[in-house]
Amino acid sequence: MKTQLQLAIYGGLALCMLNFKGKAQATQIKPTLFEGVVVLSYIDHGAAINCTGPAIKYTSKPFSLLIGLLPSLKIKEDKSAGNAPKNAIIIPSLGCGVTAIYKHIALQMPMLYTAKTSTKDGKWNVGVGLGYKF
């Protein structure tokens, strides 16, 4: 009788372990092409509108972290002296950066390149931005 009871208990435990699945936290790292995030950022004494492009995404609900490319529109007035030709106010650019997302709020640290001119060397500029995930 005692062995039958032990067999029933162990058999029941074995069935429970085989049929019930434990779920760990859903953390994933995966590549994405577009995440649906639009960010307004301040960079190099001007503004930029950034979208998230191809990136590597780390997800741990409700947080996400993206590291990737940022197609952008830089908005900055060119303050050239004298009769020198001026650049357009809106310039398309491709940068890179880190985007942290909590639910639908995005915080971004973009890096955009400013091209070389006759008076300045080209350089990478780091900025900060706040946006929304659709």
Which helix (H) or strand (E) segment is 11 a member of?
A: helix 2-19
Domain span including residue 68: 23-133
Q: Please report whether residue 45 resides in a domain.
A: yes
Residues 6+ apart with CB under 8 A from 19: none
pLDDT tens string 7-62: 667 666 566 555 655 555 667 899 999 889 999 999 989 999 999 999 999 999 89
Q: Write down the pLDDT at residue 87.
A: 79
Q: Has residue 105 been placed in a domain?
A: yes
Helices (H) and strands (E) in the chain, counts: 1, 9
> What pLDDT was estimated at residue 1?
59
37 lies in some domain: yes
Residue 119's CB: how many other CB atoms inside 10 A?
A: 8
Whether 17 maps to a domain, the answer reads no
Query: Which tokens hold the place of 24?
Result: 């760990």
Q: Which amino acid is at 100?
A: A
Tell me the per-residue pLDDT of 72-91, one tens digit each, with 9 for 90 and over: 999 988 777 777 777 789 99
* Integer angstrom CA distances of residue 108 from 43, 85, 92, 101: 11, 33, 18, 9
Count of structural domains within the chain: 1
